[in-house]
Amino acid sequence: MALTGNSGGKAAAAADICVRVPTDDTPRVQEACLHLGHTICEIVEREMFPET
């Protein structure tokens, strides 16, 4: 899985799944990747450790 900017670059071709942030503005891409990374971690934690 790759989290990339608008073009995807070389990572898009190498990844099975590519989530592209629709901008070429590097700081916005980095912010979106951080948010997505934290969201994925939260989903995994909820699945692994459901609240009782």
Distance of CA 6 to the CA centre of its chain: 13
- pLDDT score of 51 more than 90: no
- Residue 48: Cβ within 10 Å count: 7
Residue-wise pLDDT for 6-45, tens only, equals 999 999 999 999 999 999 999 999 999 999 999 999 999 9
Q: 50 falls in which pLDDT band (50, 70, 90)?
A: very high
Looking at residue 6, its pLDDT comes to 94
Looking at residue 52, its pLDDT comes to 63
